[in-house]
Amino acid sequence: MSVDRLFLGLDSSTQGLKATVVTENLTVSYEATINYDQDLPQFETNGGVHRDSDGQTVTSPPLMWVGALDLLLEKMKDENVPVGRIAAISGSGQQHGSVWLAKGAKSRLQRLDVQSTLILQLDGIFSLENSPTWMDSSTAEQCQDLEQIMGGAQALADLTGSRAYVRFTGNQIAKIHQRQAEAYASTEHISLVSSFMASLLVGDVAPIDASDGSGMNLMDIWSMQWSGDALRATAPALKEKLGPVVPSHSVVGNVHPYYVERYGFSPGCRVIAFSGDNPNSLAGLRLQSLGDLAISMGTSDTIFASLENPKPSGMEGHIFANPITPGAFMAMIVRQNGSLARERVRDDVSGGDWDTFDGLLDGTPPGNGGKIGMYVLEPEITPPITRTGIYRFDAEDRQVDSFNKAEDVRAIIEGQFLSMRLHAEGIGIKPSRLIATGGASVNTSILKVVANVFGKPVYVAERADSASLGAAYRAQHGLACEEASQFISFANLMGSAAPFAEAAVPDMSAHEAYEKVKDRFRRLEQSLL
């Protein structure tokens, strides 16, 4: 391979479109971001979305995503990015969102006119001007119906990797079919956000990849093909509207001549299937070894891992097709009460000062003298606790009204990560090391507790943009597989990436304290469901 080749990763996220360019030896050479609210103000979004007054319907205009690609490519041109050296492009999209293409859209994509912007020439190709997004929670009824038809939550999870979730695309499709029958009938194709962005680049309808396709409640995760039963339970003639599912490392085409003539891309530049943001983050964090577990500590805490023998749960978590290893899986758990809950306790005990919070945490013993706390400030996803509140238990399991400051600090951190560990084990995740990312990953006092709870070392990923970086890595990977005419292990290509820095090692005597308390914790948590 030539050392001059570049790989582009795009991330069409909720709030903006990001580009990351990496060199052949995985160094980041360029980054840029378009922010929807600021750079495309004509769409009047807030945080990239429109919220309906019903408090449940949350959409985004897909034409805005098109406009963002125009702006990003213009910016790259203005900043003299050598796009002619980009050998392959892949991308990431917010998961579960769908783009509804009206009849005739495919031929409009095929006939892109180099004289015009994408936003001008693709206005009107949508059968829905507003796309459902992952933040939409308006499909409780459709979820109930789907679980009932498919034989219950566990049966649906056993087949599709997840019980029915309101944000999952299939349930959104069912709602649109029921409430907007005309729009459904006039739809030629339904894309995910990820496959739609790939469609813009190839100038045709690009297929959905198996990993993002797993977030729809429609795909059989074992065969990685649509489940006929799930499709029939969702809406009529759906298979034709979705097209095929492809492995995530597939080449889906070359960039359309539009990009060659207008921006100077190479006509041979390959486009690799786009995937969801979490699958791309898994690639960006290089979770190629089956024991690697990522903990992303943000507004909510998300964990994900590669695994071979998943145990889909009818209660919690998701199993997706693995985006970098065909035949393997990716498990993901979202805990709603992450940073915001930690910050609330920090504010209560220290008026907002992390140093004081960390001092209190460091000064209390692992296991907290038997005191356990669960800080459910917003309804929790994992496990599903709908009654919000702070639940504190003393060493005899009696619920108490308060702890002292230091006990509160230790209780929230131990409770969050013990819960995460137990639920991760519940769907088959057995980590051998943890990779922390997101805001709280700079806090060594917290990372020490994480290492002790899991009994495994914690490493930190220095970059926060793991989705677009992962897309750039996947671009390189997809092309390497094509050039070798066989699947190449992702890990083989990642050899030159800088290793993650070790941030905390477990103290095994502290870990013992959590081994002793874990069954008690599980029982108390269950009592809140």
Told to check if 134 binds ligand 5FX by CB under 6 A, we report yes
Separation CA 430–CA 425 (nearest Å): 6
Alpha helices in 31-139 (DSSP H): 36-39, 62-78, 105-110, 118-122
Instruction: Give the binding-site size for ligand 5FX (rule: CB under 6 A).
Output: 11
Task: Centre a 10 Å sphere on the Cβ of residue 85 and count the other Cβ atoms it contains.
Answer: 19
Told to check if 163 binds ligand 5FX by CB under 6 A, we report no
Which range, of 28-36, 274-282, 385-393, 472-480, touches ligand 5FX by CB under 6 A?
A: 274-282
Binding pattern for the stretch 197-236 against ligand 5FX, x by CB under 6 A and - elsewhere: ------------------x---------------------
292-297 and 301-307: which strand pairing? antiparallel
Separation CA 218–CA 160 (nearest Å): 6
Q: Which of positions 79-98 make contact with ligand 5FX (CB under 6 A)? A: 94-96
Instruction: Write the DSSP symbol of residue 303.
Output: E
Q: Which is nearer to ligand 5FX, 60 or 234 (CB)?
A: 60
Q: Which is nearer to ligand 5FX, 215 or 438 (CB)?
A: 215
Instruction: Tell me which amino acid residue 449 is.
Output: V
Which range, of 141-149, 171-179, 272-280, 377-385, touches ligand 5FX by CB under 6 A?
A: 272-280
Specify whether the CB–CB gap between 513 and 414 falls below 8 A. no
Among 136, 277, 407, 408, binds ligand 5FX (CB under 6 A): 277
Separation CA 148–CA 145 (nearest Å): 5
Q: How far is the CB of 329 from ligand 5FX (least distance, A)?
A: 15
Told to check if 171 binds ligand 5FX by CB under 6 A, we report no
Cα separations (Å) of 157 from 141, 315, 340? 18, 9, 29
Q: Which is nearer to ligand 5FX, 95 or 139 (CB)?
A: 95
Q: How far is the CB of 212 from ligand 5FX (least distance, A)?
A: 9
Q: How far is the CB of 193 from ligand 5FX (least distance, A)?
A: 8
- Tokens describing residue 490: 């992702």
Q: How far is the CB of 125 from ligand 5FX (least distance, A)?
A: 23
Q: Which is nearer to ligand 5FX, 95 or 217 (CB)?
A: 95
Angle at 97 between CA 280 and CA 195, to 5 degrees: 55
Q: Which of positions 337-396 make contact with ligand 5FX (CB under 6 A)? A: none
Cα separations (Å) of 114 from 101, 206, 268? 21, 20, 18
Q: How far is the CB of 282 from ligand 5FX (least distance, A)?
A: 12
Q: How far is the CB of 94 from ligand 5FX (least distance, A)?
A: 3
Specify whether the CB–CB gap between 20 and 100 falls below 8 A. no
Angle at 358 between CA 353 and CA 361, to 5 degrees: 130
Of 15, 124, 24, nearest to 480 (Cα)?
24
Specify whether the CB–CB gap between 242 and 190 falls below 8 A. yes
Q: Which is nearer to ligand 5FX, 55 or 495 (CB)?
A: 55
Told to check if 278 binds ligand 5FX by CB under 6 A, we report yes
Instruction: Tell me which amino acid residue 91 is.
Output: G
Residue that the structure tokens 């009994």 belong to: 455
Specify whether the CB–CB gap between 22 and 102 falls below 8 A. no
Specify whether the CB–CB gap between 483 and 31 falls below 8 A. no
- Tokens describing residue 461: 């990923």
Q: How far is the CB of 184 from ligand 5FX (least distance, A)?
A: 23
Q: How far is the CB of 162 from ligand 5FX (least distance, A)?
A: 9
Told to check if 336 binds ligand 5FX by CB under 6 A, we report no
- Where would I find the beta strands (DSSP E) of 406-522? 433-437, 458-460, 501-504
Q: Which of positions 2-21 make contact with ligand 5FX (CB under 6 A)? A: 13-14
Told to check if 23 binds ligand 5FX by CB under 6 A, we report no
Which range, of 50-58, 137-145, 270-278, 490-498, touches ligand 5FX by CB under 6 A?
A: 270-278
Told to check if 414 binds ligand 5FX by CB under 6 A, we report no
Q: How far is the CB of 300 from ligand 5FX (least distance, A)?
A: 8
Question: Interface with ligand 5FX by CB under 6 A: which residues?
Answer: 13-14, 94-96, 134, 167, 215, 276-278
